[in-house]
Amino acid sequence: MKYKDLFIDFDDTLYDTYGNSVIALQETYEAYGLGRYFADPKVFYDAYWQTNIDLWTQYSKGEITRDYLIVERFRRPLSVGEGLNVTEAYCLEMSDCFLDFCSSKPGVVDGAHELMDYLRNKGYRMHMCSNGFHEVQYKKLAASGLKDYFDTIILSEDAGVNKPSPQFFDYALLRSGAQRATTLMIGDNLQTDIMGAMASGLDALFFNRYPEHEKTTVPTFIVTSLREIMKIL
């Protein structure tokens, strides 16, 4: 067995962050009565998702801070509404509400528990590697029942840098006690997970959930479902 340690991304690799967030965003919209300011809720949802993608891309590159992301991801879509006084305090309050709704959801990607059971029984050491926020990730881990599978929880806030930075992967190797030559990174984000790992000298398995992704690099392995990983490892 070539690999002994697995670095595994969490959001949208194991935990259905997008699916859970869709539900949580609807709950937040209703809790705040945003229908008073938006004639069509889709306008708010579309603005939120576009903003979220843009901000997380910037955050992963270290271009913006966590605090900026938390405020802006609601300030921008809320600003599209009519007659709403969008203050920083209002955005922070809404963010807390949204994260509470989201992190309490148990939804996982299809096959997540089956895969993790399989990998544990095969004797791999598994380490969660995530750019997600500390307090939110631990709530998601508890809600999804995935925490006990991991030998180590490695978060960018603890590392001081985000994936795809080489410093993140160096920190992960140090924290986990893993060796570069016998470690495989598994993730769904081609830039942060796959390109970041490969640039750091690690093999990488790309979970290509949405096959229309442009292939700008050639990972060690590519799968389109979690169950396919069991045929490789």
Q: Domain 18-103 is classified in which CATH homologous superfamily?
A: Putative phosphatase; domain 2 (1.10.150.240)
pLDDT tens track for 179-204? 999 999 999 999 999 999 999 999 99
Q: Where are the domains of the chain?
A: 5-16+107-232, 18-103
Instruction: Identify the pLDDT of residue 212.
Output: 64
pLDDT(64) > 90: yes
Fold of the domain built from segment(s) 5-16+107-232: Rossmann fold (3.40.50)
Instruction: Identify the pLDDT of residue 211.
Output: 77
Instruction: Identify the pLDDT of residue 61.
Output: 87
Mean pLDDT of 54-58: 92
pTM: 0.91
Instruction: Identify the pLDDT of residue 215.
Output: 64
Which tokens sit at 172? 């992960």
CB-based contacts of 153, cutoff 8 Å, min separation 6: 127, 128, 137, 138, 141, 147
Least confident of 88-102, 112-126, 165-179, 209-223: 209-223
Residues of the chain with pLDDT > 70, as a percent, come to 97
pLDDT tens track for 139-150? 999 999 999 999
Instruction: Identify the pLDDT of residue 218.
Output: 86
